Amino acid sequence: MSKSQSAANFFHQPLAEMVDPHHPLAVLASRLPWAQIDAALAPHFARQVLAPAKFTWPTSSSDLRGLASRLARSRALRLA
């Protein structure tokens, strides 16, 4: 191993070397049925494809002012 590789590995210690295997949480984690937990939770986190929103153009100038104010408010909320 070169000097630069050993210097880089000094700060990138494997997780298994950082965790105490006798710590109560590590022991508990080793006893949990992770495959069953993954199988039970996977459907709740599955990506869902939604239909695109339908846009309709305003029909009068008053609708245009209302649209502009709604857009301004929604942009302000996103920026906040």
More confident residue, 3 or 69: 69
When pLDDT is averaged across residues 15-40 and rounded to a whole number, the result is 92
| 31 band by pLDDT with thresholds 50, 70 and 90 | very high
pLDDT at residue number 64: 61
**Ramachandran quadrant class, 73 (left: phi over 0; alpha: psi -120 to 50; beta: rest):** alpha
Parse the chain into domains and list their residue ranges: 1-46
- Cβ-contact 20, 26 below 8 angstroms: yes
pLDDT digits (tens, 9 = 90+) for 33-79: 999 999 999 988 888 787 777 777 666 655 666 677 777 777 666 66
- Cβ-contact 6, 12 below 8 angstroms: no
